[in-house]
Structures are given as structure tokens and as C-alpha cells.
Structure 1
């Protein structure tokens, strides 16, 4: 039986990290580049994020990860895990996660790339990751610095303000 995804039908695809590098240069970001990976400093309102873009030829996937400038101590990890679960329920694209060993929080998503990827597409992937980090960073701040529960932090961070001061 043959499969639809047999390796014999896959042809090499241009490395999309080349396009990510162009975006980094245009935006004047500080970055390091290896063949299939680019790491850049992406400024935000709350912190500078570490943007990691990784190309996997075998899966034809470009992964975008935005790492927070926060380290979660062991005592706060249960609340952070709960917040991550609750926030991920709200997301259509990508997800938050925490690396258990380092206690680092990140937002990550990927795109399957079949052929060349344009600068506009790469910018959209990066902007999506950045926007979600900016939107939800205060949730993690409230847990880590104010001692709030996951639900309290979400409620406080996502409070809808009506009117003007």
C-alpha cells in the first residue's frame, strides 16, 4: 500500500529562514543565524523577547517561538501551568508552553511551507507570536510578582477597560 505522504514525492524546498533573515534585517533586529535557525531580539512593551525561527526540512515546517524574559520558580509552576492551559483554550493559532528544566515561558507555532515563503507571510507569523506574547505577558507577571492564582491573573490582565480617563 502506498501512502499519500511518501518521501519519494517530496522535493527540496528553499530554506524559509533566508526570508526570516531578510525580515530581521529590514527591522534592524539584532540576530544570529545558522543554516536552519535564526535567533533575534524582538523588543516588546514589557520585555525584549527572544525570537527563535527554526526550519525542519523533513517536515517542511517553519517554527516560530517567542521566549519571555521570565524564569518561573518551582513554587509558581503549578499556577503558571494552569494559566497556560486556560490561555491555550482561547488561542486559535499557536500555544504557550513552559520548558520544565529551565522554567522558561514561550509562545510557539509553526507553518507548513511547500515552496518559497514570502516576506509578508513571515512577518505575519512573527507578528502573531509577538501579539499573543504582548497580550498575555501580564498574566504571567501577576502570577510571578503578585502571587495571584491563574484565574485571578487572567481576570486582572484581561480586564476590559471602558471609556477614557
Structure 2
């Protein structure tokens, strides 16, 4: 967890805050006006994190791409898997882009900071870390369906087994 003392201001424009957050973590990123794209290595794969700020609506669209592409013959089972996975989520959702077969996690955050259109460090951290956590949590489910030949229900059950202790 980062400390707000690492930043000059408590709140900043959403893309500015995300840029500072990514930089503090040493993650590579590119920024273009109201959009920022970062690359983060997870335990399963590398994730592309993309944020787009819509100032008129005061909404930050946050996308995480877990480097999963679905072929046409596996789409039906992945759509079923997405439905089961999304039942487990409190915020955000997974979806499959029909045109490209790319699987992603999406969350839209309404930003209502102390000053209009600003975001706190805590809000940025929650947005980024929850997206990464959900991608990490459910990555095995999608892989079990795509590569392991498991049914969506069996894949979800297998991936969500909570282990206790250490080996």
C-alpha cells in the first residue's frame, strides 16, 4: 500500500492520480490526454490496465485485460463462465468483446471528489488493486475452461477452493 505522503496533493484528476500511482509502483505506462495504459505483471500473466476519463460525465472507465483470447469454438462455454464468475463479483464485471474475442474486466467509477473531478489515492488504489485481484482470482477459471476441458461450473469450483496452511 502506498502512502499519501508520497504525493504532492491529496486528490488529483483521475488520470493524474493513476499516473502517479503507476509511477510509484515502477510500472510501465503511456499517457494520452484523458487515457492511460499500464502494464503489470501478475502471478498468472501480464495485465494491461487501461483507464479512460470522461470529464463530461465524471466517470472513469477502468479496464483490465488478462491476456486471454477466446476462439470462436470456445465462446459459448466462456459466455457461461463469465455469467457464473460475474455472480461472484461485488464491483466490476468480466466481458468478452465479440469482435475480437478478447476477455476483459471492466469497472466504471463515478468520481465525486472533494473538488469536482478529483480522485484520492485510496480510491485509485482500490480501483487498480481490485481489478488486478479479480483478474488473478478468476484467471484459472477461464484457463480451466479454455485449456483444461472443464465445464464452467467445475472450473469455478476447482479454482475457488480455499487452501489452508502451507505445504
TM-score range normalised by the length of the shorter chain? 0.7 to 0.9
Cα RMSD of the aligned pairs, angstroms, is: 1.3
- 4+ long deviations beyond 6 Å: none
Q: Whole-Å Cα distance in 1 between the matches of residues 165 and 131 of structure 2?
A: 28
**Which consecutive residues of structure 1, in runs of 5 or more, have no partner in the other structure?**
1-13
> Shift of the alpha carbon at 1:152?
1.3
SS at structure 2 position matched to 1:70:
coil
Q: How does 1:110-149 map to 2 (within 5 A)?
A: 110-114=108-112, 115=116, 116-149=118-151
Q: Is 2:88 aligned against 1:86?
A: no
Q: TM-score, normalised by structure 2?
A: 0.87
Matching residue within 33, 39, 53 for 2:31:
33
Q: Whole-Å Cα distance in 1 between the matches of residues 79 and 25 of structure 2?
A: 33
Paired residue for 1:156? 158
Question: Residue 32 and residue 79 in structure 1: after superposition, are their counterparts in 2 closer, same or farther (change >3 A)?
Answer: same
Q: Whole-Å Cα distance in 2 between the matches of residues 162 and 75 of structure 1?
A: 37
1:130-165 per-position Cα deviation (integer Å, ceiling 9, x unaligned):
100000000001011111111111111112224543
Matching residue within 92, 95, 99 for 1:97:
95
Structure whose alpha-carbon radius of gyration is higher:
1
Figure out how many residues of one structure are paired with residues of the other and give that number: 152
